[in-house]
Structure 1
Amino acid sequence: MAGRISWLTAAFLVFLAQALVSTAAMAEVQVSKVELFEEGEETGLLLTGDGPLTYRLLSQEEPPRVLVQLPDAAIEESALPETASEGLVEELTLHTSEGQPPRLELRLSRVAEASATREGAALAITLAPAKRTNPASAEMEREPEPEPQPLQARPEPEKDAGPLTLEDFDLKEGAQGASLTLKTSREPRQFQSFQLDDPRRLVVDLQDAKLGVSKNRHPQNHPLIERVRFGQGSDHARTVLDLKGQVTHNLEPAPEGLRVSLRRPSRSQDGREVTDVDFTVGPEPDVGRVELSLDSTGAEAQVQLEEGRVVMDLPKTRLPEELEKRLQVTDFGTVVESVDLYQREDAVRVVASGKGPLEPTTYQLDDKLVLNVGKRVSQEAKKGPEATGEPYQGEKLSLNFQNIEVRQALNILADFADLNMVASDSVGGQLTLRLNDVPWDQALDIILDSQGLGMDRRGNVIRVAPQAELQQQAQQELEAEQKRRELVPLRTEILQINYAKASEVKALLESQGEGEGGMLSRRGSISVDERTNSLLVRETPEQLRAVRQMVEKLDRPTRQVMIEARIVKVNTSFERQMGVRWGGFHTDTTGFEFPNRLDFSGSLSGAQNAEPDLAVDLPAAGVGGGAAGSLGMRLGHIANNTTLDLELSAIEAEGNGKIISSPRVVTSNQQEATIKQGTEIPYQEATSSGATNISFQEAVLSLGVTPQITPDGSLILDVEASNDSVAQNTAAGPAIDTEEVETQVLVDDGETLVIGGIYAKAEREDETGVPFLRKIPLIGALFRSRTTTTQKDELLIFLTPRIVEDKATGGRQVKQDQS
């Protein structure tokens, strides 16, 4: 420690001459040299400028680094040391950007505690290895955040008082605690303090004071205080007490300085009770929120992450028996499946069990303690916040406020996030808030929501005010804008409509309504010139631009679709006929003169007829006008008078037909295209006067298609297909057989749609023969003929829609008139 002080003292003496600068305000301080030093376990950074340097320190543990922001200063790369690594510092980087103060980034090999000392034009920053690591603890140390006490002022300061200097300190042990006196050059006028819980620290700031102690670290052998540290801020001297346990403190100014009284809290002060438990869905749909209501503030939540569950303990807290229970929360749809609450010795334990890796966050708002449990985010996802989709992307911090002023809490967040924030005079009050490892933007929303505040972001400045005040201001601005619009002169403009009907465009514009949110103001009007298909618009310039832009979007050529149809009709027919003709005759003499001869035959013709004598004449009929094939024979004997004639006839006919038509039609988007093919059949019908009139009945193949182009280039087709044919003629006119298909399909551009299923098959079998005899088994075939007919008809429709490329719109003719 002595070695470190020696080189700091030497450095200050070297640049003491440069530290003597004018007290007048300077626009910018030029940093001329930056040096890195190593003394034992500590590493130092020394900055030298041509005037006093103001600074801000930010420490981060993951990854370990320290940021030094230098407002109102300028620094060049040439001022940096040749070796950018020393001791704990692995890399020293300068960040400069237009409109932003320069920053020095120190990437560390391990987590370190940073403190600063300023002397004249020199600024020394000391990095010491941290004994404890906890997220956001370093950030909380650099600026007053939780539990500040209001600034206190002496009623009548001395007129001849000089600069305030913190010269030394005196620590005394008492029966119930300790008494620390910060010795100053005069009685301090303004001071404030706050406490940190993890790690436990008490921070005391003396406003407008300079640091005059010989060293900034003083280890102590005290039951309450482990170490006393000092640091120089931009406008204050800071004293940090590293505590060994929880204490209460009180500040009292004295002529010799500021007296800080520390006392151990009594057990009754720590005791609290859970009054209610509730479970809701958190800021994200999959985040579960456990909300505990307490009878007092200041609860210390100890959260542990175990496999598949989150365990939170509240020391020195009592849970009523009626609240010791298990909550089944699977119906909420979060990662939390159940919540168990029970008393464990003098602590209340809350166990949230869920699925998958979990990540908890906790915060306390007044008497409400909230535990949010969500999915754990991987390190790769954390590096890319855009991919996570999380609503809060700010750097995480931990805060513990006890009755802090709302304005001061907002100031802490503004300093942490480097925001330009303006708070309304109406912002006031106090709050108690405990946040553990939450993004700063979420912390800001929590504070605003708890106090009924809102924010208005304009550019890079955030204005905070009560929501009612912001709403009132917005209403006033809206009324002022309306009054301004009422004073704006009107202009007349003629808009030529190219592709749409001017009357339809006028109706669309007027349907948007009048006043705020409509296309027309209360003073505006639109007329239509049907002859030139134009719109005559009289409006303010601002509304006129809106109308013109809307007309340009509406007046566009309707996209067209070409529909290629291929209609295929297939006919297949088959007919078979089989018949038989047979007969015989017998001739003999009687021995009488009359009748001398007897003939028996199956034919009406005489026995001497050239035609065969038939007893059964059932030949096969011809098909399509052609004769059936036949095979005949006669069986007889020369010495016998009996003859038998037999003839078989059969015919088969098979036909195949195919009719193909390929019509094409182009139609506009959402307009029906119709294709018809067939015959109109005339028929007579009586009129009301008794005369006869000729009417026509359609028997056609009809195809109707209505296309709709989707934004992604696909097409929705409403298809109606019908196939009508003549069934039979009646007294009232021809009867029509109808086959119809109606459907809606989604196809891609150029994709072919097939419509089938219009299929008909007719089978018929006819039999002609001699009654009774045709049914005799085996020989019944000699007394009958058969006809078998099969007819098949099938209709196939192939549709291929193609989007026609948009037609070039060309320029718009606009005539303008000032009135």
Structure 2
Amino acid sequence: MRSLIIKRVAAVLALLAVSGAALAASTLQGLDFRQGPSGELEVDLDFAGAVPEVRGYRIDDPARLTIDLMETDNGLPERRYSLGIGGVQQVTALEAGSRTRLVFDLEGPLPYNTRQQGDRLRLAIGGGAADTGVATTATPSTVATGASTTEPAPRQPASTGPSVEDIDFRRGSDGAGRLIVTFDRAGVDARVRESGSNRITAELMDVDLPRSLDQVYDVSDFGTPLQRITPLVGRNGVTLDIQGSGDYAMVSTQSGRQLTIEAQPVTRQEQERRVREQFPYTGERITLNFQDIEVRSVLAIIADFTGLNLVASDSVQGRVTLNLQDVPWDQALDLVLKSHGLASRQEGNVIVVAPAAELAQREQLELQSREQLETLAPLESEYVQVKYAKAEDIAALIRGGDNGFGLLTERGKVAVDARTNTLLIQDTADQIDTVLSTLERLDVAVRQVQIEARIVVATQSATRQLGVSWGASSPDARMGGAFRFEWGCIWHCAEWWYVRRYGSRGCR
């Protein structure tokens, strides 16, 4: 009995060991950084166990390279390493589930490649590294080998149908996620649709998918609405199951050998606007569940629910069965009307319901009556003084023709008095009001720039005409009475006196 228990315990331990090895086939133990001969960064990855499957992809804004080591535990002593080698600033090691992710922060977009060397994996970034592309996968059977050799992957049988050559994912400048599928020929039948919430399905009819591209593409680090791309191979071709998140608008285009599926992020307001455009009904929601009820009774129920006045034509007849749960009342009304060839017109708070042909005929009669009233309406005259524009130019616009849009009726006329810049308009009263409202917008002052200039003439003799006069008077008995003496001197006389006295022109 004891030996049986020991055997069972040993079997359980063996199963646990096997399952543990399956969950984490290898462990990343160390990273060795150095600069290569061409200036590139060379990283040697040491594993405890076999070299795992490697998946890598790169984004350009921000410049970043992500390497996923599938089914690998993180045994590194540090989480972040500062480098500054070959355009690589730092590398961060993360562990998510059963994989270890290395995120390299780059100074700019750089090429990279991976090579297996025995139980080590060498990653080269920048310099002369050959770019392996975006969202690619390297496995021990497909990567180039160095010290050890691996068996080449078996060739797939040749196929006469179209096949996928490349699957590429990029991030747009506006945060859009862009999936580009390249085929080996043009004319592939591709059907793209949105299926469910945050999910896009692309059916590639009668298309083969190479084994190297048959993998799950995790593109969540690109920061776009698209998160994961899963190819599904079936009898009728390949189906791409694209999982997204958030609010986005999907656009797919196919040109030549390329199929592009783009998810553009949108705001909540823009998403609501798109929904309103696709679903124009905005009324309060109502539930209707009736069996073989008269149409007029349903219309009365809707009118009572909305508080609107409803007028139904005598031609509105028939019965209807309804089972509508929580739908807008205007959608319910539209469904009832369309099911019986009816139509409605709303004027204010009154809804008129009648057969569509009857409503169209009624509107046609109203239009003809309006035209007859315009023909029989009396003509009136109006004098309009044009303040800023030219009356002739305004008259040309009112008349219409080749150079204008025309504001007059067939009986209307307009004349111009050039002397007073006045328009003489003759037409119906309603049409004259329309012309006057248009003139208020057209006859406005145009902004101008006023320039003033003054001309001043100055000559050298002007200063000689400036001076002062002095005078004096006194009585003199010897002269036989009062004597008056006055003298004056302008500026040049004062100058002459000063020169005679002092011998220089020190005073000006």
Identify, as 1 or 2, the structure richer in helix.
2
Structure-2-length-normalised TM-score = 0.34
Structure number with greater Rg is 1
Structure-1-length-normalised TM-score = 0.22
Identify, as 1 or 2, the structure richer in strand.
1
